[in-house]
Amino acid sequence: MSPDESEITLQRKAKGKRPYYFANPDVDRLLSMVMALTGELSVTRDRLDTLERVAAEKGLFSSEDIEQYALTDADMEARAARHQTIFKEVTRIIVGELEDLEATEDRDYSAVVSQVENDG
Amino acid sequence: MPNAYKEQQLHDALPTTSHDELARQHFVRSFKEHLVTDLHPGLKTVYEKRAKGKFIAEHQREPETIQEVGQVMKQDSHYQAWSSLLRTSQEMMWSSAQIPVQRAIHELATQASETPAAGSLRLNPDLKIPAYHTAVDIHCQPGGYHTEYINNDVAQGAIYDRAVYIYAMGQMGVNNADMGDSTVAWLKREHPELKPTRILDMGCAVGHSTLPYVSGFEGAEVHAIDVAAPMLRYAHARASSMGLPVHFSQQNAETIDFEDNSFDLVVSHILLHETSSAAIKNIIRECHRVLKPGGMMLHVETPPYEGMEPFDTFLFDWDSENNNEPFWRKSHLLDLEALARDSGFQSHKPIQIMVPSAFQETQRSNTFQGGDFGGGGVWFVYGCQK
Please count the other Cβ atoms lying within 10 Å of the Cβ belonging to residue B362: 16
Q: Does A83 touch chain B (CB under 8 A)?
A: no
Q: What is the separation, in whole angstroms, between the first and last Cα of chain A?
A: 56
Fill in the amino acid letter for B103. R
Residue A1 above 50 pLDDT? no
Interface of A with B in 43-82 (CB under 8 A): 43, 46-47, 50
Co-location of A78 and A48 in the same domain: no
CA distance B310 to B55: 13
pLDDT (tens digit per residue) in A66-79: 999 999 999 999 99
Mean pLDDT value of segment B150-156: 97
Residue B2 above 90 pLDDT? no
Co-location of A28 and A52 in the same domain: yes
pLDDT (tens digit per residue) in B23-68: 999 999 999 989 988 899 899 999 999 999 999 999 999 999 999 9
Residue B368 above 60 pLDDT? no
For residue B2, give the DSSP letter. Answer: G
B136 to A35: CB separation less than 8 angstroms, yes or no? no
B85 to A12: CB separation less than 8 angstroms, yes or no? no
Nearest to B118 by CA among B244, B12, B248, B212: B244
- Chain A residue nearest residue B144, CA to CA: A14
A31 to B81: CB separation less than 8 angstroms, yes or no? yes
How does the average pLDDT of chain B come out, rounded? 93
Given the DSSP bridges, would you call strands B378-385 and B291-301 parallel, antiparallel or unpaired?
A: antiparallel
B136 to A43: CB separation less than 8 angstroms, yes or no? no
A14 in any annotated domain: no
B140 to A16: CB separation less than 8 angstroms, yes or no? yes
Co-location of A24 and A65 in the same domain: yes
Q: Which domain holds residue A97?
A: 72-113
pLDDT of residue A107: 74
Co-location of A78 and A64 in the same domain: no
B143 to A9: CB separation less than 8 angstroms, yes or no? no
Co-location of A65 and A76 in the same domain: no
Q: How many domains does chain A have?
A: 2
Co-location of A79 and A64 in the same domain: no
Co-location of A65 and A104 in the same domain: no
Q: Which residues of A touch B320 (CB under 8 A)?
A: none
CA distance B283 to B289: 10
Q: Are B140 and B90 in contact (CB under 8 A)?
A: yes
Can you give the residue ranges of every domain in chain B?
1-386
Co-location of A65 and A80 in the same domain: no
CA distance B11 to B338: 42
Mean pLDDT value of segment B152-167: 97
pLDDT of residue B370: 52
Residue B13's pLDDT band (cuts 50, 70, 90): very high
Which of A4, A11, A31 lies at the smallest CB-CB distance from B85? A31
Distance from CA of B61 to the nearest CA of A (A): 26
Share of chain B above pLDDT 70, in %: 95
Fill in the amino acid letter for A46. D
Distance from CA of A55 to the nearest CA of B (A): 16
pLDDT (tens digit per residue) in A55-113: 999 999 999 999 999 999 999 999 999 999 988 888 888 887 777 777 777 678 888 88
Co-location of A85 and A48 in the same domain: no
Co-location of A102 and A88 in the same domain: yes
CA distance B373 to B323: 13
Co-location of A25 and A65 in the same domain: yes
Q: Are B98 and B162 in contact (CB under 8 A)?
A: no
Q: Which residues of B touch A31 (CB under 8 A)?
A: 81, 84-85, 88
Q: What is the largest CA-CA distance in chain A?
A: 74
Q: Does B277 touch chain A (CB under 8 A)?
A: no
Co-location of A63 and A80 in the same domain: no
Suggest the residue from A5, A8, A53 to mutate for an interface test with chain B (most B CBs closer than 10 A): A8
Mean pLDDT value of segment B275-300: 98
pLDDT of residue B360: 62
Angle between helices B229-241 and B105-114 (to 10 degrees): 60
Which whole-number Å values give the CA distances from B150 to A8, B98, B104, B244, B343, in the listed order? 8, 15, 12, 27, 40
Strands of B378-385's sheet, edge to edge? B120-122, B247-250, B221-226, B198-202, B263-269, B291-301, B378-385, B351-356
A11 in any annotated domain: no
pLDDT of residue A111: 86
A3 in any annotated domain: no
A35 in any annotated domain: yes
Suggest the residue from A35, A37, A49 to mutate for an interface test with chain B (most B CBs closer than 10 A): A35
Q: Does A32 touch chain B (CB under 8 A)?
A: yes
Q: Does B122 touch chain A (CB under 8 A)?
A: no
pLDDT (tens digit per residue) in A29-44: 999 999 999 999 999 9
CA distance A8 to B158: 15
Query: Could you tell me which CATH class the domain B1-386 is placed in?
Result: alpha beta
A36 in any annotated domain: yes
B84 to A16: CB separation less than 8 angstroms, yes or no? no
A26 in any annotated domain: yes
Suggest the residue from A12, A15, A30, A49 to mutate for an interface test with chain B (most B CBs closer than 10 A): A15
